[in-house]
Amino acid sequence: MRDEQAYDPLDKVNLGASVADALLSRQLTPLGKLVPFSGAGVYAIYYHGPFSAYENVRSEAGVREVPIYAGKAVPPGARKGLAGLGQKPGKDLYKRLVEHAKSIEATTSLDLADFTCRYLVVDDIWIPLGEALVIARFSPLWNTLIDGFGNHDPGKRRYEGLRPRWDTLHPGRPWAMKCQPRAESAEQIEREVIAYLANAAQDQG
């Protein structure tokens, strides 16, 4: 006889999954047409455009919806355990999405009109777990293979570091162009993306 483990709706993984599910049930919104709103939380970004290397991750309504990036926005003080203690909610989640929109607008190879997003304002304590479960479920390309999309300007004293892979594949952000070039080219990264997504599609099939 096999022992079945009782489902615990209050288990932290199940609670986190409920946050992820709530996010994924939200309506898609054009990333470049967000209306300001208050709160912190989690989000997922989707790509619908013609960039050839992203064919296997291109989202189509009703057919395939796979986020290309997932992330979170926490309120000031969250890392010190001070968030939510008598503070009025800011526009942390909205501002983070606007930052991403500006990063995409700065590139020469992507069009902001080809991106949508889902976002969910969440109580601070559930934000990290909700983000982690969305990333674990989909392994979004820009969270895994092509890192650097969510990076900020490191400051002039750190430009000796390597340019992120994302900025090598999608050049345009002024601060990233000040960083040191990678040994790998955009064409090499693009070929790696195509192979990676093709293998992922076979595994899912």
Domain ranges of the chain: 12-147
Q: Give dist(CA 187, CA 90) in Å, integer.
A: 41
Quick check: 94 and 36 in contact, CB under 8 A? Answer: yes
Q: Would the pLDDT of 203 be above 70?
A: no
Residues 113-147 have pLDDT tens digits of 999 999 999 988 889 989 999 999 899 999 999 99
Secondary structure E strands in 8-110: 29-30, 41-47, 69-73
Would you give the distance in Å from CA 72 to the centre of its chain? 8
DSSP 8: -
Say whether pTM exceeds 0.85. Answer: yes
**Spatial CB neighbours of 32, under 8 Å, sequence gap ≥ 6:** 101, 105, 112, 113, 115
Q: Would the pLDDT of 85 be above 70?
A: no
Residues 28-52 have pLDDT tens digits of 999 999 999 999 999 999 999 999 9
The pLDDT of residue 19: 86
